Amino acid sequence: MLQPSSRDPGGNVETWCIRSAKESKLRDRVYKGIPDRWRGAAWDLLMNRIASTGYREVARLSEEYKDGLDKPSKYDVQIDLDVPRTISGHVMFRTRYGAG
């Protein structure tokens, strides 16, 4: 569904694009779920489509997102109560305050 649209001098993919034949399926596939290995590429692609001013806007939104991750949430207590009750068997949540 995705294909590289540009690469850096080392051959790594910088930006992605959607194959024209798969354009109509994009929304359905996003709602269905994006596999873990493609999430970064899909996030980058969708952010570039949404951002009206291009790369600067995407960089600003990325920084805003990173800053938001560091801020405490008023829902932290409720999340700490709900996670062990609902998805304690998930590999990311097996240990308290682990990777999840």
Strands (E), 1-100: 2-7, 13-18
Paired tokens of 32: 């269905």
Task: Please identify every stretch of the chain with a pLDDT value under 50, giving residue numbers as ranges.
Answer: none
Model confidence over 65-83: pLDDT tens digits?
A: 889 888 888 888 888 888 8
CA distance 4 to 44: 12
DSSP 8-state code for residue 84 = H
Residue 42 identity: A
Q: 3-state DSSP call for residue 71?
A: coil
pLDDT at position 35 is 83
Ranges of each domain in the chain? 2-50
